Chain A
């Protein structure tokens, strides 16, 4: 353990406090302003009301945007779970020509600027597939999200599989279990937590993605981040955005809680 003098302890405490204030005061501002009666967000709040909450609850565009975000998020997560897990298995269990390259190509999309991915997909969809008579539409957006969501699942599952003793599967088969049983009873339970954690991360990543979404969303389709971006541009509905943001802050506590619970369960193992 590193021993710190009294002076450095105070200095560190001050730095930590400043960082936390910078992170959380803006969030508090959003939450408080969601109850602001006024049309525009302001500080201090003059009059409180639940007016914007009522509007948000009945707003058709918000409901559509939430639904779109969930559908796209779930779609991308399913793609990521399937392909991410399969590629993690391939790369952790087998050695083949070009293995390192494949590894790089799988991880690359998370490092690529969203603008590049967006432009690339947009060009492919509009200049190649569309003239060829293939309308990807909504599904194109899901695939675009899938490209970087795969990385989340892949990294988690890959790290876990590499730590797992290959003898476990052999032991299972040695004891008479078939390939399916071995996967269900031995292999899957070994990387289940990594699988779930990767899925949560993938969903979270897709849910608030803006850049790639702008380029790939079909005309007239808004995901929640797109809706927020568009609504922010209209000055008279600023606090409606704050309501949505507040709900998102509260909802995002759920995956955080789950992932912490998972990693605790992990340590117990």
Chain B
């Protein structure tokens, strides 16, 4: 076999290293022919952070992940791993590991062989491989499937094996490309909790790509919201949800009432367009009193949507504006709703609950 076989990555943490590293992107761009997938991106992920890249498909988030992993070259810019420039390093020379969206388990190898793969290609002693594979399968509670083939496992099990296979190498950064995308809702929620626990246990940086805003809010320490190859906003889940800085962020994360600049100025004296979350809007009778800190519009309920924990009212105002208001169903279960379709109501919110979205 050619010499490439024995090329051991110079910086591989063959010896156990609990160290974690940050990731830094400096002015990274990626072009595919004429298409610009990522433009002039600057991003810093702190060591040990659970960092999510959230955005619709085609927003460039996966491309960024693949550039960090080394599967795609950057068109321009620099990628730093723990302060070291890895822009030109091959995937096998980077101390990051990836969990793929389709898991990419090797179909012809047993589960134990899959998990052992990274250690095997590094020529780790057999006894150590056996011990660490055992530990690793233990960690994801799948020791009993060690001798099965990937196709004999359920989606959730495969997901955990993909995680174990990447984590056994004790990477300094773990990259996850929509790892829960293929699971059904219940399993996804269970795996979210599990992922979070594992991340806390191993204490390494997770860079997580998803298009699911709820998932990003649930899991992340910080979220970068991507749109058309740019980052629109970076912040904690609370920051990006409560204080969206752009209309895109406001509408991509949850439901948002976007009120255009001229109307916002007239109604609330705002300096530009504003965004108000439905749960911040309360409905009242048209003649109800309100405090000086509040703003309101009068409209007609055109639709009510019962979602279980809450009921959503869609109010169409005289300005042609539609406002969604959400009311928690925390009253008696058989209590009839106080508002009905066709009712004239006043939709009220506190001015300080509205975020300015320039």
Contact = CB atoms under 8 A, between A and B. Distances in A.
The contact size tier of chain B is: 20 to 34
Nearest to A177: B121
A269 interface: yes
A173 B100 contact: no
Q: Do most interface residues of chain B lie in helix, strand or loop, or is the interface mixed?
A: loop
Contacts of B101: 167
A172 B69 CA distance: 12
A178 B9 CA distance: 9
Contact of A175 (B107, B108, B117): B117
A174 B92 contact: yes
Interface residues of A, number: 21
A167 B99 CA distance: 10
A179 B6 CA distance: 10
Contacts of A186: 106
Which of A168, A178, A180 has the most C-beta atoms of chain B within 10 angstroms of its own C-beta?
A178
Interface string A168-189: 1011111111111100111001
B332 interface: no
A178 B5 contact: yes
Contact of B104 (A168, A184, A269): A168
Interface in B56-95: 69-71, 90-92
Nearest to A192: B108
B279 interface: no
A68 interface: no
Q: Do most interface residues of chain A lie in helix, strand or loop, or is the interface mixed?
A: helix
Given A174-B98, A175-B165, A185-B121, A180 B107 contact: no
Contact of A170 (B6, B104, B122): B104
A156 B108 CA distance: 19
B106 A168 contact: yes
B305 interface: no
B121 A181 contact: yes
A180 B102 contact: no
Given A165-B102, A170-B71, A175-B118, A269 B1 contact: no
Nearest to B8: A176
B199 to A, nearest CB: 19
Interface in A123-177: 165, 167-168, 170-177
A259 interface: no
Contacts of B165: 175
The 8 closest A-B pairs by CB, nearest first: A175-B118, A167-B104, A178-B4, A171-B104, A177-B121, A173-B91, A180-B4, A180-B5
Given A175-B169, A176-B122, A184-B5, 5 more contacts: A167-B102, A173-B92, A174-B91, A174-B166, A181-B1
Interface of B: 1-2, 4-7, 9, 12, 69-71, 90-92, 96-98, 100-102, 104-108, 117-118, 121-122, 149, 151, 165-166, 169
26 contacts: A165-B102, A165-B104, A167-B102, A168-B106, A170-B100, A170-B104, A171-B105, A172-B106, A172-B117, A173-B90, A174-B71, A174-B91, A174-B166, A175-B165, A175-B166, A176-B9, A176-B121, A177-B117, A177-B121, A180-B2, A180-B4, A181-B1, A181-B5, A189-B106, A269-B108, A269-B149
